Amino acid sequence: MSTLFRLSGARRDDPDVATWFEAGDDGIRRLALHWFDRIRACGSDVLQIMHDHQPTACVEDAAFAYVAAYRTHAAVGFFHGADLPDPAGVLEGAGKRMRHVKLKWGQPAPEAALEDLIAAAYADIRARLAAGP
């Protein structure tokens, strides 16, 4: 297992995350909020923090997912996405670890595949934490 990406200061309710979602009354941020709510619903141990101007979800201090809003699309990203099963082939990116799913406003989202990725990312981070350093 690879090194965890750790962020100090994550908490259950981060006012900076709420402010980010409230800052733009556009469909893209609402789309991102929908998926960030799904990420937060994974478990009572999911914490949140702003990192690089993006709402980020952690278990303990280990980041596992984030959302981002751009002019034409939203993204749901996974810090260890390269290690996640992706039978639907919806993950994008070529980095060493991170992958994301791009969601375009007005186009159907790959709901089932994204739900599976979120669940897998959450299970993965919990397993990495349980494995220890």
**pLDDT value at residue 2:** 61
pLDDT along the chain (133 residues), means of 10: 85 94 84 96 97 96 96 95 96 95 91 97 97 81
Interatomic CA distance for residues 117 and 15, integer angstroms: 26
Q: How far apart are the first and last CA of the chain?
A: 10
Locate 48 and state its tokens.
């949140």
Q: What pLDDT, on a 0 to 100 scale, did the predictor assign at position 105?
A: 82
Cα-based distances in Å from 122 to 25, 35, 105 = 29, 14, 26
- 35, 74 Cβ separation under 8 angstroms: yes
The reported pLDDT for the residue numbered 1 is 47
Q: pLDDT value at position 48?
A: 98
- What is the pLDDT, as a whole number, of residue 35? 97
